[in-house]
Amino acid sequence: MKPALNDSERKSLQRRIRLKVDYDGTDYRGWQFQPEEPTIQGHLEEALEKILGEKVRVTGAGRTDTGVHALGQVAHFDTLNNLPAKVIERALNATLPREIRVRQVTEACETFHARHWALWKMYRYGIADMHLPESIFLDRTNWLRNTSVDLETLNQCCSIVLGEHDFATFSKKEGARENHLCRVYEAYWKKEETSLSFEIKADRFLRGMVRMLVGGMIAVAGRRTTVNDFSRALASPGRWRMAVPAPACGLTLVQVEYPEKFK
């Protein structure tokens, strides 16, 4: 039996591996591991333990909520196993449930951290026309509702959220969190014939923030409140009755960006 490695020996042999992961979050209780619950992190760690023969902790760039999807989640883990990255990638996709696909596995430097080094993240929220014959195929990844809303009004709301603001009004309570400041770099709505999509890019996001912004903006566009009320709600952090989260099914994490040195 080999003697256990001390911390120094373990660190010298350890590799940091970076993942890019896509998933349909409909049937999962979000990203973060929860005992006895199906989660993305839980399935990744279970699969990696089978493949590598050791327990690992997978750290994601963002903790997506129950029912939320990803097309570009980034994560990392440390391992003593010397399996090549491509072999790990193939083995993961042969082991994981079909709703979770690992798009890329690469070696990373020991200082890379999926969450701490993220410069910005981009989310997309999709709305599809509930009267479409094909809506049955869209309900896992879109909010099905009437898409006849005023695009100009929606984008007026977007112009208000650009820049740095305290988004406490548009977030779920998270224990003792004190910092609710987020800097929004881009925010816009696009309309196709039978669908709407909202994209937002920011340095950080609070829990429920995108879904509550969508809910508030749709309320404005539906004339249940006004652009001025939306602006006041953002400027005066607190509770606003129109900041009701849109359904989780429409939300997807689409991109996470890192400094050039980590590319």
The single residue of 65, 78, 150, 203 carrying the catalytic annotation is: 65
CA dist 203 and 194 (Å) reads 31
* Residue whose C-alpha is closest to residue 121's, from 257, 212, 214, 22: 257
Whether 65 sits among the annotated catalytic residues: the reply is: yes
On whether the CB atoms of residues 146 and 175 are closer than 8 A, the answer is no
Pairing of strands 15-23, 100-108: antiparallel
List of residues 6+ apart from 145 with CB closer than 8 A: 127, 129, 130
CA 48 to CA 42: how far, in whole Å? Answer: 10
Distance (Å, rounded) from C-alpha 56 to C-alpha 75? 12
User: How far, rounded to the nearest angstrom, does the alpha carbon of residue 170 sit from its chain's CA centroid?
Assistant: 16
Report, as residue numbers or ranges, the catalytic residues.
65
